[in-house]
Amino acid sequence: MKSIELKAGRERPVLRRHPWIFSGAIAEVRGNPDPGETVEILDEHGEWLAQAAYSPHSQIRARIWTWDREESIDEAFIEKRILASVNLRTSLRQDPRVNAYREVHAESDLIPGLIVDRYDSFRVVQFLNQGAERYREAILNILSKDPEIEGIFERSDADVRELEGLGPKVGTVWGSDPPERIKILENDLQFWVDVYNGHKTGFYLDQRQNRTLVRPWVSGDVLDAFCYTGAFSVAAIAGGAQSIVSVDSSAQALALTAENIALNYPLHTNHDQVEADVFQFLRTCRDSRRSFDTIFLDPPKFAGTSSQVEKAARGYKDINLLAFKLLRPGGVLITFSCSGGVSQDLFQKIVADAALDAGVEASVHAVLGQADDHPVRLQFPEGRYLKGFVCRLHG
Question: Rounded CA gap, 212 and 336, in Å?
Answer: 15
Return phi, psi of residue 80, to 5°: -60, -45
Whether 227 is catalytic is: no
Q: What burial letters (b/e) apply to 27-62, b meaning 16+ CB within 10 Å? A: eebeeebebbbbbbbbbeeeeebbbbbbbbebebbb
| Helix 251-264 / helix 231-238 crossing angle, nearest 10 deg | 30
Question: Rounded CA gap, 93 and 74, in Å?
Answer: 27
Question: Rounded CA gap, 350 and 362, in Å?
Answer: 13
Cα–Cα nearest to 230, from 196, 206, 203 = 203
Cα–Cα nearest to 254, from 217, 229, 279 = 229
β strands within 236-282, DSSP E:
243-248, 271-275
Active site residues: 338
